[in-house]
Amino acid sequence: MQDRRSGNIVILTGAGISKESGIDTFRDADGLWNKVNIEDVATPEGFARNPAMVHDFYNERRRGLLGDNIRPNAAHAALARLEAEWPGEVLLVTQNIDNLHEAGGSKNLIHMHGEMFKARCEDCHAVHDWREDLSLQTHCPACEAPGGMRPHVVWFGEMPFDMDRIYAALSQCGLFLSIGTSGNVYPAAGFVQEAIFSARAHTVELNLEPSEGATLFAETDYGPATEIVPRYVDKLLAEGW
Ligand code: BV8
């Protein structure tokens, strides 16, 4: 069992942590997946069928993330403070493709579903930092080939990134903290069971409302992330879990 005041922590975040920064979630009433059909815009099949439509979908979201009004909130800042002040290892695994955790100061971070500000060439597989629109006319800066660029984002049916590193961290954590995710999407939604069975970790859910996996957590707190995450980080730093 890990020491509750210094053991390793794995944090999983979802769209809920960025909601108060002005970024839509996916499954709330005003969520993204209620406005577009997942199969059309977030699968490799959808991209193959209509790449221009998928580029438009991501170009609009990428432009939105570049707005001056989109900034990290108190929950992002609290997780960066935890990483800086906690005596043990803190690994932050996010399902989000925005860059608010980095902007909020987190460093030990995995974007398991990719990043909106990166683009990948399907011809040479080079990954580039990217803030402009993408289209079928976009040339790859590395191999010069046109038409092969796509968002460096994990679509449904594709393998999330860094899974080995994530499962290794889950098997050695004393605390698994899930924040702002509905627990609908796998393999992320299965991390809580992995932490319980492979590390006998203490598990905590911080969310606006109970997620699909709420009953699996030993401890829960519900409310807006900007309120409950800083409060929980203060408690963790003062007395452990
Ligand atoms: C995989 C990037 C194999 C794109 C995303 C058939 C065929 C193939 C696969 C499957 C299949 N059936 C099932 C699957 C598996 C599938 C899956 O889980 N489907 C679901 C729908 C059933 N998963 C996959 O395909 C994954 N790959 O399985 O590969 C494999 C298996 C095992 C191990 C390795 C590999 C790939 C999934 C990744 C898809 N890409 N995103 C993009 O962003 O455009 S997923 C998408 O949902 C989002 O990106 C997001 O990351 C993810 C999860 O959503 P949440 O973050 O939880 O957001 P949501 O809106 O749902 O919830 C928000 C929560 O916040 C709510 O609970 C709300 O109450 C709360 N909240 C709101 N406001 C606040 C708040 N909380 C706090 N404060 C607030 N203010």
Q: How far is the CA of 82 from the centre of ligand 1 (A)?
A: 25
pLDDT digits over 144-190, tens only?
A: 999 999 999 999 999 999 999 999 999 999 999 999 999 999 999 99
Which residues does the annotation mark as catalytic? Answer: 113
Beta carbon of 41 within 6 Å of any ligand 1 atom: no
Residue 32: pLDDT band (50, 70, 90) is confident
Give the DSSP H or E segment for 176. strand 175-179
Least confident of 31-40, 187-196, 230-239: 31-40
What the block records as the tokens of 201 is: 């970790």
Q: Read off the DSSP letter of residue 32.
A: G
pLDDT score for 181 = 98
CA 41 from centre of chain: 18
DSSP label at 121? E
Predicted local distance difference test score (pLDDT) of residue 118: 98
CA-CA-CA-CA torsion sign (34, 72, 176, 111): positive
Which protein residue has the closest C-alpha to ligand 1 atom 8? Answer: 157
Q: Which helix (H) or strand (E) holds 175?
A: strand 175-179
> pLDDT at position 77, please?
98
The total of other beta-carbon atoms located within 10 Å of residue 68's CB is 5
The DSSP line for 47-68 is HHH-HHHHHHHHHHHHHHHTST
Q: Which long-range contacts (CB under 8 A, 24 or more apart) does 124-128 make?
A: 124/148, 127/152
- 202: pLDDT confidence band, cut at 50, 70 and 90? very high
187 lines ligand 1 (CB under 6 A): yes
Chain centroid offset of residue 236 CA = 22
pLDDT in tens, 83-98: 999 999 999 999 999 9
Per-residue pLDDT band for 2 (boundaries 50, 70, 90) equals confident
Residue 28's pLDDT is what? Answer: 85
CA angle 7–171–181, rounded 5-degree value: 85
Percent of the chain surpassing pLDDT 70? 100
160 ligand 1 Cβ < 6 A: yes
Q: Is 157 in the pocket of ligand 1 (CB under 6 A)?
A: yes
| pLDDT level of residue 203 (50, 70, 90 thresholds) | very high
The two tokens of residue 34 are 């209620």
pLDDT at 1 over 80: no
Distance 163 CA to ligand 1 centre (A): 15
Reference 15, options 190, 185, 201, 166; nearest CA is 185
By alpha-carbon position, which residue is closest to atom 35 of ligand 1?
159
Q: What is the rounded average pLDDT of the residues 131-141?
A: 97
Of 66 and 29, which is predicted with more confidence?
66
Contact in structure between 228 and 178 (CB atoms under 8 Å): no
163 lines ligand 1 (CB under 6 A): yes
Q: Confidence class of residue 29 from pLDDT cuts 50, 70 and 90? A: confident
Exposure letters 19-37 (e unless 16+ CB within 10 A, then b)? bbbebbbbbbeeebeeeee
Q: Does residue 200 surpass a pLDDT of 80?
A: yes
What's the confidence (pLDDT) of residue 190?
98
- Measured in whole angstroms, the distance separating CA 2 from the mean position of its chain's CA atoms is 25
Q: CA–CA separation, 89 vs 99, rounded Å?
A: 21
Question: pLDDT by residue (tens digit) across 214-237?
Answer: 999 999 999 999 999 999 999 999
CB 86 within 8 A of CB 177: no
* Residue having the nearest C-alpha atom to atom 45 of ligand 1: 185
Ligand 1 centroid–CA 41 distance in Å is 14
Q: Is 225's C-beta closer than 6 angstroms to any atom of ligand 1? A: yes
Distance 143 CA to ligand 1 centre (A): 32
pLDDT of residue 35: 85
Confidence of residue 26 (pLDDT cuts 50, 70, 90): confident
Q: DSSP label at 223?
A: S
What token pair was written down for 219?
Answer: 């401890």
